[in-house]
Amino acid sequence: MAEPELDQDSALLAVELSEVCGTDVYLQQGRLQGVPYPLVPGHVSVGRLSKIRGTLLDVEGREFREGDRVTFLDVHRTCNACWYCLVAKATTRCPNRKVYGITYGLDDGLCGGWAEQIYLKPGTRCIRLDADAETFMAGGCALPTALHAVERGEIAIGDTVLVLGCGPVGVNAIMLALMRGALKVLCIGAPAFRLAAATQAGAAAVLNFEEHDEHARLEWVLEHTSGRGAEVTIEATGAPDAVVQAMRFTRDAGRVVIVGQYTDHGPVSTEAAFNPHLDLNKKHLDVRGCWGSDFSHFYRSARIVSDPVRSAPWAAFRTQLSRYKLAQANEALAAVASGSVLKALIDPNG
Amino acid sequence: MAEPELDQDSALLAVELSEVCGTDVYLQQGRLQGVPYPLVPGHVSVGRLSKIRGTLLDVEGREFREGDRVTFLDVHRTCNACWYCLVAKATTRCPNRKVYGITYGLDDGLCGGWAEQIYLKPGTRCIRLDADAETFMAGGCALPTALHAVERGEIAIGDTVLVLGCGPVGVNAIMLALMRGALKVLCIGAPAFRLAAATQAGAAAVLNFEEHDEHARLEWVLEHTSGRGAEVTIEATGAPDAVVQAMRFTRDAGRVVIVGQYTDHGPVSTEAAFNPHLDLNKKHLDVRGCWGSDFSHFYRSARIVSDPVRSAPWAAFRTQLSRYKLAQANEALAAVASGSVLKALIDPNG
Amino acid sequence: MAEPELDQDSALLAVELSEVCGTDVYLQQGRLQGVPYPLVPGHVSVGRLSKIRGTLLDVEGREFREGDRVTFLDVHRTCNACWYCLVAKATTRCPNRKVYGITYGLDDGLCGGWAEQIYLKPGTRCIRLDADAETFMAGGCALPTALHAVERGEIAIGDTVLVLGCGPVGVNAIMLALMRGALKVLCIGAPAFRLAAATQAGAAAVLNFEEHDEHARLEWVLEHTSGRGAEVTIEATGAPDAVVQAMRFTRDAGRVVIVGQYTDHGPVSTEAAFNPHLDLNKKHLDVRGCWGSDFSHFYRSARIVSDPVRSAPWAAFRTQLSRYKLAQANEALAAVASGSVLKALIDPNG
Amino acid sequence: MAEPELDQDSALLAVELSEVCGTDVYLQQGRLQGVPYPLVPGHVSVGRLSKIRGTLLDVEGREFREGDRVTFLDVHRTCNACWYCLVAKATTRCPNRKVYGITYGLDDGLCGGWAEQIYLKPGTRCIRLDADAETFMAGGCALPTALHAVERGEIAIGDTVLVLGCGPVGVNAIMLALMRGALKVLCIGAPAFRLAAATQAGAAAVLNFEEHDEHARLEWVLEHTSGRGAEVTIEATGAPDAVVQAMRFTRDAGRVVIVGQYTDHGPVSTEAAFNPHLDLNKKHLDVRGCWGSDFSHFYRSARIVSDPVRSAPWAAFRTQLSRYKLAQANEALAAVASGSVLKALIDPNG
């Protein structure tokens, strides 16, 4: 595509790295709503501002310069004018929001990250990045998502936290639960190499769900929690039945955050036998859906990976990223779909 | 039974009125756990202290006198020594608690309200009552239960609240949601005479669920909520599928309180098709189980019905209570089971 | 002034009534910061849209029509782009916000309410009003301010609330504390006719502070609160020393909301003897500043006064408003400054 | 003293180490209320159960055995029967609580830690300790106090936290603020060797308040916080004026926790010029007193120092503790009073 004419107070980003995540697989499979195909995928990217027209400010009022390394919030046009924005203050449910690489199509311009350049429209929220591109991408979009989930979980210092799933969101949730004060984090997931990543991220104990049925999993959780269940469980699996199991693995009056159900995988199965008396009411549970993330999660994530001390857990994963050229995008998608890599990235300059 | 020997700092209560509630029906049906049959039912009662041995203090340190009208928290022996009491601060999940009229049996003494006298063991929490017995009973055990639910719902001034169910908990939830600042309260329930009670309690609009399927109910809720759903939904039905409907009837990022699932009615049906993506995650909902109530709920309830101004909504229901003699207990249970009365009371002096 | 050229998506409001409040007195006295004198005062107004250019939507996406009765949030240009808006989510501290009638001057156009017309710039948040203008003005700007304060106070059903001050914010705080579930509300203020308004608003007991020193006030509060102090105290006085007294009049582990300190009246006096050990730390208090209000408070306020049932407490004050013609603005200011009227309004058509 | 006759379900603790803290200095100076002199000081201790009569259970229901290493909550007899315990749920303000080593006197038996043995009365809450005695004492009573303060501060992941004071509570607050997710922690205190401890605890930057006046301190905080002030400030100094400075050093809409005012040091000075408009209302601050700590804080603290991973920051301070024999208690008190040691301990077997 040709370089676009820049609107006032907009910019071009020369992409260094762009992420390939589970959402991109769903996008390819046509499982997301409101997608204006065709489009350029890639919603979370890092790069350098190659051209600025007008003025671009960060949230602290400092002006960006060409050459600055930035990332940007993929969510755009949260309207600040609708009932969800202004009354409910639930901006992730604003009906007017657009997402780069997902709900912006080709007609909207260069709005996806799997490209050499991205057009940052006026009002796009850029964040200065002091981290190297790889450390940022070790978190990727999973970091703000997990941050939102951990925030919703209201973990108290000394809690035992259970994470279901060890994909990118699960692994980031482990790191963040520890950063937030969990005494220890347990993780149930698969396959083995991802559980190894969970352990590297700091999980005190991991269990392969492919080798243990629900009953065995529950026993394992109870063994690690004085027979009570986890204080906080973060579901990051994508499997509907895991939502019910998350409730069962949590102690009475605990909190369950549901963050793994991005896409419609259908209803909970009859086998799961969700019983509101036993699983929810009598347990006095809090079950909290967690949709999307907002600027604050993205900003805090960028600050963490930019901090020389706090970024350590992510920096340690830098060498475990799988890089693909633009021409290898389908290969990258296949790797993510099959779960054979921890994290796939598009390097348009590769 | 013979009058018991009183332990130090215990008392006898001469019962004026004792409640017959849904829990008593389940008790009769053998559907509750941990019940030491045979027992005297009746967990919420009002009466006068007929005999005190030693000293009985209220929470403000004032000594009770024989002749005082009191009620007492049916939950006894919350231990203040276990993990749930001291670390989780979730005292309704204390494993050591006992409940008068439910988990105290005949061997424990005169521990049920459907009797002329109740033995108030040491440590029983009594509350002075300035209300007449009928106004107190217009709330009964449903008032603190609904108060707990409304508290969990964190209603904001100006919210639209939906109550599912118009049994005693539902009707009390309507009154309390208004007292807490709801702009208006909607109610879906049945039969017609209970919906009339919901209207009397202040519901702005009611819908008979027997005459409207789930789709029609959703349409009705959306019509009354600018197309968004209720800010807060309180489920007080007893039907497992209503838990899923409660989520669907609630606006994105709203709160759902599940308080109606006291007993095991089995799992959510396949027809309900609970879909965690659509019903929970994408909606960014908070779903909150609500089990039991603690002293604070009981105390605040007693203060409300004792207040000349605040008690008005309950006082208005005084004339709609159905009184039964001790010998008519089975008749009272049948009336509650069939839903043919708003509220049944045992009057041991009747 | 000449009728302005309207920008795209802006409008003209034909003013019915505009408020004269304490802030206007401070404005006149030059005690506010950031005021671009000369200006047209009047920050909260109600009227009819007399001319619309382009499209004006409410938060629910419905288009406004010429002739609609509306009010509008006086705060404009909350930026949705700065750290306070996006990270802290403390939009009342956004440094970019402008306020009609206060920080918009004559150079900005017809931006004050004491006029026949107001120019509603693009992005001004209008709210449809089903109430008559007088009922809305019985609340005026004090209603959303008090709503914010009551929200910050997290009143629980059954609490005893103390309001310091019986100016417009204090009187509205009484009504809203009751709407939010307070068992009873106490009020300390002066002079007598305003205390009568507090009683009309629902205060269970009032005390004239001019006739009782701090010690007597404390005794009075303790008498009405079983010797503990209020659960929640809302300071709405403007007197710095009242902030310390508010702490002393509140029970241990209670909440104190400071909403009455809009303007710099200097430091707490030496006589007040603010002792952090006795007044704050040992009492385990929460003391909460409350600055401004946001769209949600304004919107909820408009819904309350537009509701046939909920508006009753405000409608009852309709007849106690003092109306002034445009030419009598100084007279209105003098009346507010001296506290001789409950509420002064400018009627530009009077 | 003679070994006491043990009541049923009580025990004797053979003390290994007992703490000397600032409270003990105030105790010696006669600055605390409700102290029944003479008494044995020492409120936080660690040791082994040397004799048990009857049954002693931990919160998880496991029986203690003679020889177990334990600590115990110094607060005893929180009544679970008064308004503060049951309605306000503010157990640190229960009027019936007693504190070992502070409000238990000689007449109450062996109730202080600066002794070879402590009599653990029935109902004393013991906690099993897997940590060595020194690691536990590196936290001491300051750890649960700081944990309570950090909890009250509601630190979010990525926040910048300011700690005023670098005594034991300040140093523990630094470690816990980081454990709770602070991006970085700043500390203002003195003298230099304590600031070095703050740095060792993880503070990103420290400032000596003896060398910088209030203006310079504010400038320093603003420099480290993008000109806004800290998100959360924890005051742990003991100086009344620091309470006002804490507000000024905090960003608008931030949180201030006041935990350093254990004793009456008189009112805030006139020089401090506490201005409620500028310092509190306009800043939309939350200022939170923090009194005492409860079992949950003590339990979580014991779990942290017992955890092989999480205890690391405290284990690193083990070598910096100053041990004194029983006969050197006055020497220990003098060292604490003069601030010449980081932490003083009584070793009754030394």
SS3 per residue for chain D? CCCCCCCCCEEEEEEEEEEECHHHHHHHCCCCCCCCCCCCCCCCEEEEEEEEECCCECCCCCECCCCCEEEECCEECCCCCCHHHHCCCCHHHCCCCEECCCCCCHHHCCCCCCCCEEEECCCCCEEECCCCHHHHHHHCCHHHHHHHHHHHHCCCCCCEEEEECCCHHHHHHHHHHHHCCCCEEEEEECCHHHHHHHHHHCCCEEEEHHHCCHHHHHHHHHHCCCCCCEEEEEECCCCHHHHHHHHHCEEEEEEEEECCCCCCCCCCCCCCCCCHHHHHHCCCCEEEECCCCCHHHHHHHHHHHHCCCCCHHHHCCHHHCEEECHHHHHHHHHHHHHCCCCCEEECCCC
With contacts defined as CB-CB under 8 Å, which chain C residues touch B310? 183
Q: Which among C61, C87, C296 has the least Cβ separation from residue A86? A: C296
For residue A99, the distance in angstroms to the closest alpha carbon of chain D comes to 25
pLDDT at C2 over 90: no
ipTM above 0.95 for this complex: yes
- For chain A, which ranges sit under pLDDT 50? none
Q: Quote the mean pLDDT of chain B.
A: 97
Q: Which among A88, A226, A274 has the least Cβ separation from residue B253? A: A88
With contacts defined as CB-CB under 8 Å, which chain A residues touch B93? 252-253, 283-284
| List of chains touching C (3+ CB pairs within 8 A) | A, B, D
**Per-residue pLDDT averaged across D23-40, rounded?**
93
Query: Shortest CA distance to B113 belongs to which of B36, B12, B207, B188?
Result: B12
> How many interchain CB pairs under 8 A, A with B?
142
**Per-residue pLDDT averaged across C150-159, rounded?**
98
| Best of C151, C157, C176 to mutate (most B CBs within 10 Å, chain B) | C157
pLDDT for residue B1: 61
| List of chains touching A (3+ CB pairs within 8 A) | B, C, D
Q: Return the beta strands (E) in C178-249 as ranges.
A: 184-189, 205-208, 230-235
pLDDT for residue C1: 61
Cβ separation D183–A304 shorter than 8 A? yes
With contacts defined as CB-CB under 8 Å, which chain B residues touch D81? 57, 59, 123, 125
Model confidence pLDDT, tens digit, residues B13-28: 999 999 999 999 999 9
pLDDT for residue B203: 98
pLDDT at B205 over 90: yes
In C, minimum Cα distance to D94 occurs at C252
Give Cα separations from C298 to C146, C153, C305 (angstroms): 11, 18, 11
pLDDT for residue A260: 97
With contacts defined as CB-CB under 8 Å, which chain B residues touch C157? 147, 150-151, 176, 179-180, 300, 304
Q: Quote the mean pLDDT of chain C.
A: 97
> In b/e form, how buried is each residue of D294-316, taking b as 16+ CB within 10 angstroms?
bbbbbbbbbbbbbbeebbebbbe
Cβ separation D87–B61 shorter than 8 A? no
Cβ separation A226–D183 shorter than 8 A? no
> How many interchain CB pairs under 8 A, C with D?
142
Model confidence pLDDT, tens digit, residues C216-275: 999 999 999 999 999 999 999 999 999 999 999 999 999 999 999 999 999 999 999 999
For residue A306, the distance in angstroms to the closest alpha carbon of chain D comes to 10
pLDDT at D90 over 90: yes
Cβ separation C289–D281 shorter than 8 A? yes
Cβ separation C226–D288 shorter than 8 A? no
pLDDT at D1 over 70: no
For residue B303, the distance in angstroms to the closest alpha carbon of chain D comes to 12
Q: Which among A180, A307, A309 has the least Cβ separation from residue D180? A: A180
C-alpha D183 chain-centroid distance: 23
Cβ separation D86–B296 shorter than 8 A? yes
pLDDT for residue A1: 61
pLDDT for residue D122: 97
| Best of B160, B244, B257, B274 to mutate (most A CBs within 10 Å, chain A) | B274
Q: Which among C243, C268, C275 has the least Cβ separation from residue D266? A: C275
Q: Which among C93, C258, C284 has the least Cβ separation from residue D290? A: C284
pLDDT for residue A3: 76
In C, minimum Cα distance to A62 occurs at C82
Model confidence pLDDT, tens digit, residues C292-350: 999 999 999 999 999 999 999 999 999 999 999 999 999 999 999 999 999 999 999 98
With contacts defined as CB-CB under 8 Å, which chain D residues touch B123? 81
In D, minimum Cα distance to A150 occurs at D157
pLDDT at D232 over 90: yes
pLDDT at D2 over 80: no
C-alpha C124 chain-centroid distance: 19
Q: Which among D86, D125, D295 has the least Cβ separation from residue B295? A: D86
For residue C273, the distance in angstroms to the closest alpha carbon of chain D comes to 5
Stated pTM of the model: 0.98
